[in-house]
Structure 1
Amino acid sequence: MSGLRILVPIKRVLDYATKPRVNRTQTGIDLANAKHSMNPFDELSIEEAVRLRERKVPVAEILAFSAGPPKAQDVLRTAMAMGADRSIHVVVEERDALEPLGVAKLLKKVVEGEKSDLVILGKQSIDDDAAQTGQMLAGLLGWAQATQASSVSISAENMVTVTREVDGGVETLKAKLPMVITTDLRLNEPRYASLPNIMKAKKKLLEKKTLKDYGLDEKIRLKTVRVTEPPPRKGGVKVEDVDGMISKLKELGAL
């Protein structure tokens, strides 16, 4: 098996520990001065790509890719500190954020240009929870796909075995490269980037590009009409006995 060229798309998102707040105009989330980090599912993807190399699977290159605002280069540096060899940053302002189909079209161009034969990406991003990009990319490329992977192994015959969790158990899929894999939380535990690797990442290549470099000018198809906070939760009530609980449930229309 020749060396794999692995593409790992990553996204800069609002940090999972940050409580999102709706902005004053109710057009979206207030991102001013908010902490951002790499999408957690994409951390799993970088980790798995690095682990494939550590398991002696022939890997020629691990390429991290992101399309986002200028600050997205921070998560690319993190990806390289974790083990990616180089990265590409397509600068897209937050107001022009791409939709899943636009991202899939862009990734198709990157795959073709970089001659990638394996794409590992998170099953979804925690900001929009669309969970569409991986499937759309596989469809555009005409490649095999395995979603929500909890285990990945690659044989010398370019055969990929993926275990994924499904309702009531697990499902094992096999397919030949090239392939698109989306990652789930039980796949691995991402490593922390050590200080020496963070310093080394500063010297690795981070190439900046634009949508026009890939011949794309993706138009937004969806318009956000309004974003509102969820209604505050009401406090619970105590009941004296089972009969009181049943009466209360009937009163609420639950029975």
Structure 2
Amino acid sequence: MQIYVCVKHVPDSAAHITLVDKNHINEKLAFLLNPYDEHAVTEAVRIKDNLPGAEIIAVCLGKDNAEKTLGSALAMGADRGILIVSDENHDSIETAQALKAAIEQDTTNPGLIFTGKESIDAEGMQTMFRIGALLDFPVATNVVKLDIEAGSVIVESELSGGTANTYEMSLPCVIGAGRGLNTPRYPTFPDIVKSKKKPVKKIIFADLNIKPSTAGMSIVELEPLEQTRKPKEITGDAGKVAKKIVKILKDEAKVI
């Protein structure tokens, strides 16, 4: 089975992000493998360990420096990588088209496709559904449990409030990995050294000959987050402080 894991090169959420104009950030900061994609790669490795002959291919759309993110996926256990090189920012429509085209260029029969349930930069949560629609594959997202049984996949897809739905899908299918799926398998130093020898194929986005879509999304404007919360000191004895806290939680925060 060939298992494809679609990964994204994203800014480190702990980095200080500044704007250079109304729709671009200063990219002179740390980038990394999208955290939800770490769960996707880890699950792909778990499946491969139980399927002799399986192969994991990490696929990424991004600039040349996104090869570092592919390197992270390779160090975590992917066997090889495909980098679709583009200097443009693509919406989920074009991203899905590019990933689908690269996968089809690599194989005529993908066994399973993983993504993270979302990226921490755009948080669009659309790419996995668009890939599934383009390939006519079933899709489940925010998957927290996965079992492969006799040519089908049984998953638990977590909903809000801690509830989950169970789905059975035929293979091939698309899985959006959630945080509860596993604990990411972080690479050791030998893993990192070995990953340097794993192949990464580069494809120029324009060479995929993707037809322009009649629909599209673009960034209108980015604005820095401004913290508007103002701390208030609560004074008095313990009983009065407790009553004030309960009143705030009830009347202002509305959590009780």
On whether the aligned pair clears a TM of 0.5, the verdict is yes
Contact between 1:22 and 1:227, CA under 8 Å: does it hold in 2? no
User: 1:31 corresponds to which residue?
Assistant: 27
Q: Alignment RMSD, CA only?
A: 2.6
**Per-residue deviation at 1:88?**
0.6
**Per-residue deviation at 1:244?**
10
User: 2:158 corresponds to which residue?
Assistant: 165
TM-score, length basis structure 2: 0.85
Cα separation, 1, equivalents of 2:210 and 2:184: 33
Q: What amino acid is aligned across from residue 212 of structure 1 in structure 2? A: A
1:238 maps onto 2:234 in alignment: yes
Secondary structure of 1:186's counterpart equals helix
1:223 maps onto 2:214 in alignment: no
1:102 maps onto 2:94 in alignment: yes
> Alpha carbons of 1:243 and 1:31: their partners in 2 closer, same or farther (altered >3 Å)?
closer
> Alpha carbons of 1:97 and 1:243: their partners in 2 closer, same or farther (altered >3 Å)?
closer
**Per-residue deviation at 1:27?**
3.1
Secondary structure of 1:49's counterpart equals helix
2:12 to 12, 15, 18: 15
> Alpha carbons of 1:200 and 1:21: their partners in 2 closer, same or farther (altered >3 Å)?
closer
> Alpha carbons of 1:223 and 1:75: their partners in 2 closer, same or farther (altered >3 Å)?
closer
Could you tell me the percent identity over the aligned residues? 30
> Alpha carbons of 1:154 and 1:238: their partners in 2 closer, same or farther (altered >3 Å)?
same
**Per-residue deviation at 1:239?**
6.2
Secondary structure of 2:114's counterpart equals strand
Contact between 1:22 and 1:229, CA under 8 Å: does it hold in 2? no
1:5 to 2, 10, 22: 2
Cα separation, 2, equivalents of 1:128 and 1:161: 29
Cα separation, 2, equivalents of 1:244 and 1:226: 36
**Per-residue deviation at 1:237?**
4.1
- CA deviation map 1:142-199 (0-9, x unaligned): 11111111011112x2111111212352221111101000000011111221222212
User: 1:122 corresponds to which residue?
Assistant: 116
Contact between 1:7 and 1:65, CA under 8 Å: does it hold in 2? yes
**Per-residue deviation at 1:245?**
7.8
2:199 to 197, 205, 223: 205
Alignment: residue pair count: 244
Contact between 1:109 and 1:214, CA under 8 Å: does it hold in 2? yes
**Per-residue deviation at 1:233?**
2.1
1:146 maps onto 2:137 in alignment: no
> Alpha carbons of 1:159 and 1:233: their partners in 2 closer, same or farther (altered >3 Å)?
same
1:75-94 matched pairs, under 5 angstroms: 75-93=69-87
Secondary structure of 1:50's counterpart equals helix
Q: What amino acid is aligned across from residue 25 of structure 1 in structure 2? A: D
- Gap regions ≥5 residues in structure 1: none
**Per-residue deviation at 1:225?**
2.5
**Per-residue deviation at 1:57?**
2.5
Secondary structure of 1:120's counterpart equals strand
